[in-house]
Every structure is written in C-alpha cells, then in structure tokens.
Amino acid sequence: MKKVKYILTVAVFVLVIFGLAAAGLILPDGAASASERRELAQMPEISAKAVFNREFSDKIETYFLDQFPARDTFRRINAIFRFYGLWQLDSDGLWVHGGAVYKSESKTDESQISYAATYYNSLIDAYLKDLNVYYTVVPDKSYFTQDLGYPHLDYDRIFEIMTTGVRGAEYIDIRDTLSVDKYYRTDTHWLQPELFDTVKRLGEAMGVGEYLTPEDEYTPHTLSPFYGVYLGQAALPIDPDELTYLTSAYTDTAVVTGPQYKADGIYDLAKFEGMDGYDVFLSGTQPVIEIQCPDARTDRELYIFRDSFGSSLAPLFTGAYKKITVIDMRYVTAGYLPNVVTFTPGADVLFINSTLILNTAMIMR
C-alpha cells in the first residue's frame, strides 16, 4: 500500500513539474496577453554584461512567469483561492460586488491633485485666456460604492482641491448625472449610451444644450465580448461585457484627423480586437485629434482636454460643434501644444479627466 502511494506521489510530481516544464518548452511563446492587456516578456538575450549584473536572471524569471503554460488558468486558480478559499475581500486591490469588478485606489495623492489644478491654470494662462473655459471631474466607479467599506480615494478632498484650485474656468459638476450602473461591470470606463444626462449637463453649462443631438436620433451598435481591464486583472470567472457605441447623422459625417489617427471615422472598430476594446472610441491613445462636423447645428468650436473617458463623450457633441479638437495632455507637452493646436478666440474649452488620472496627474507635462 505504501509503495503504491509513493509511486503515485512521484508520478504526480513528475506530471506537474516535468509536464509543465515540457509544455513550456514545446508551446510557442505568446506576444501578448489579451486578458491582462499587456505585452508578454520574451526570452532575454544572454550577454556577459546581462549575466554579471543579474539583469538576465531577473528577466528570465519574468519570462518564465509570463510565458508559463496555461497562465490564465493558473491566474484564475489563484484568484479563486484568494476570493473563495481565503475569503479575501480583494485580490491585488480588485474586488467584486454585484457582478461588477472594482479596483481600490486607496492612496489619495494630494500633491498630484494639486498639480492637476496648477497644470490646468498654467494652460489657461498660457493659451486659453480668450476662450470660454470649463472643467469637470469624472468620478471613477468606486465613487458610487464608498459605503461598501472597500478602500477608496478621498473623493471629497479631490473635488475640494480641484474646485478651489482651478482659476479662470467654470466648474461643471456631473456627479449627480452618473451612477454605478452607468459604468461597465468589468472595466473602469463609463457606458456611452448612459451619458445623455451628463452630456446635457455639460452642454447646457457651455450654452449648446439646445443643439445637442437628441437621444432618439442615435443608433446603438454592440460589440461583444468586451473584456474590461478589470476582468483580465481579476482573473475571475465573470461574464464579459458588451461594448455599445452610438452613431448618428452627425457622427457618420464627421471627419476625424490627427497626426497619428489612422481610422476612417469617429469609431475605430478594428481596435476592438486589440489590447483594449475601449479604443474603439476615437482610436484610443491619441495626442491630438480634430473632428470636423460639417452638419453641426452651430459654427462653434470646442477643445476637450481629456483622458479616455473623454473619448466616448466627444462623439456626443458632434451635433453641437462644427469642430471639436480632442487633446490628451499625457501624450503632448504643454510647451509643444501651439505646434499642433491653434486656439480660436471665443471657442469653448472643456477639461475632463477622471479621478484616477488626477491622482496620477504628473504624467501630464
């Protein structure tokens, strides 16, 4: 009996250790992880320098971890062990409530928030004095779950710093136009079809409320499955979302250009199959984009300083503005801005960044 048990123990060990080692050798290396939305480490180059400064040993461990056979399955086992074995409330800061995944960003960095306010002021002083400047702050979805007891940003403090720190711009509060169900379950972003109240609030504050495209003039289109950024990170067995984007006569005729913009139109459907499905909106990461709206109901211009939340919001202003310039200050420096954007006096400006970006605002230069 004992001998059989020993044989089985050795067999299990060989199966697991040698089996996975062999699988790692046989299976081709992956270039990227769709679930984690990142490129995977490749086999590091061996050189005497890399070996002796221990760079090689560090990189080879990362390579083995990244290229491990059935990596997603093992990540899922780990998540199940954490959530259902140890009953942890979160794993790597990710937690689940009501079928939605959230990420705890518990450390509010006031210096970053203050930097954002000062940064807005410097842009206003340098380029936007003759324009109508507005700003808003997009609460991330944990804003709406503060009473559940999970660690979260100090939202009161963030809004206080921003509303008292920004000068020469009108603050538009959009918090009451949003709720947790207006965000994707598996992603950090909001749902475009749920933004009409928000767009109305912003549009009315900027004086274009009556020119906004009515909700019933939009046609929803669905892309599925949409694996939100949190879904891959959490590695839990949760159903993916559906991504919905809206088209109208104004979005259909909009002409979008930019130094790095390659899509034909306001939605870049090819991006849905990429690392981040949300890049469908304005083709994701872009420093500067111009949206010409020939059929717009006004001749007004709008400049949006935004993060990815602004990507899905901007198309909903195509009926109200002749030209919308969308700028992401994470990818263009303030000093370089006049080289790529000419500001028209009298135009509207909207600063719109999420609390998550404001808490790491120093990436805006």
Partner 1 sequence: MLFSGATFLYAFLPVVLVLYFLAPGVKAKNYVLLIASLVFYFFGEPVYVLLLVFSSISDWLHSVYIEKHRGERRAKIALISSIVINLGMLGFFKYTDFLIGTVNAILGTAIPKTGVPLPIGISFFTFQTMSYTIDVYRGRAHAQRDLGTMATFVCLFPQLIAGPIVRYVDVAAELEDRKHTLEGVALGIRRFAFGLGKKVMIANIMGELTQIFRESGDKSVLFYWLYAVAYALQIYFDFSGYSDMAIGLGSMFGFKFPENFNYPYISKSITEFWRRWHMTLGGWFRDYVYIPLGGNRTTKWKWLRNIAVVWILTGAWHGAEWNFVLWGVMFGVLLIVEKLWLGKLLEKAPAVIDHIYVLFIVVLSFVVFNASGLRGVVSDIGGLFGAGGIPLVSADAVYYLRSYAVAILAAVIGATPIPKYLYNKLREAPRVALEPLATGALLIVSTACIINSSFNPFLYFRF
Residue ranges that bind partner 1, judged by CB under 8 A: 1-13, 15-18, 20-21, 24, 51-52, 54, 57, 60-61, 64-65, 68, 71, 74-79, 81, 86-90, 92, 106-107, 149-151, 235
Q: For strand 348-354 and strand 38-39, is the pairing parallel, antiparallel, or unpaired?
A: unpaired
Q: Which is nearer to partner 1, 89 or 334 (CB)?
A: 89
The SS3 call for residue 257 is: strand
Count the neighbouring beta carbons within 10 Å of the beta carbon of residue 327.
23
Between 99 and 149, CB nearer to partner 1: 149
Specify the residue, 41 or 340, whose C-beta has the smaller distance to partner 1. Answer: 41
The identity of residue 317, as a single letter, is: F
For the bound state, the minimum distance from the C-beta of residue 280 to partner 1, rounded and expressed in Å, comes to 29
Q: What is the nearest approach in angstroms of partner 1 to the Cβ of residue 98?
A: 18
Tokens of 322: 């002749």
Element (H, E) at 55: helix 55-66
Least distance to partner 1, CB of residue 57, Å: 5
Question: Between residues 52 and 99, which has the closer beta carbon with respect to partner 1?
Answer: 52
CB 357 within 8 A of CB 113: no
Residue 235: which residues within 8 A CB-CB, separation 6 or more?
A: 35, 72, 75, 76, 78, 79
Which residue has tokens 């306001």? 266
Query: What's the min distance (Å) between Cβ of 25 and partner 1?
Result: 9
DSSP structure class, residue 189: S
* Residue (17 or 363) nearer to partner 1, CB: 17
C-beta of residue 113 within 8 angstroms of C-beta of residue 125: no
For residue 276, the minimal CB distance to partner 1 (Å) is: 21
> Strand (E) positions, 10-119?
32-33, 38-39, 94-97, 100-103
Given the complex with partner 1, which of 54 and 176 has the nearer CB atom? Answer: 54
Amino acid at 361: A
Q: How far is the CB of 179 from partner 1 (least distance, A)?
A: 23
Whichever of 31 and 86 has its CB closer to partner 1, that residue is: 86
User: Rounded distance, CA 284 to CA 278, Å?
Assistant: 7
Residue 88 or 260 with smaller CB distance to partner 1: 88
Q: Give the nearest distance from C-beta 356 to partner 1 in angstroms.
A: 18
Closest CA to 102 of 113, 93, 115, 111: 93
Tell me how far apart the alpha carbons of residues 287 and 259 are, in angstroms, rounded to a whole number: 8
Nearest approach, Cβ of 227 to partner 1 (angstroms)? 18
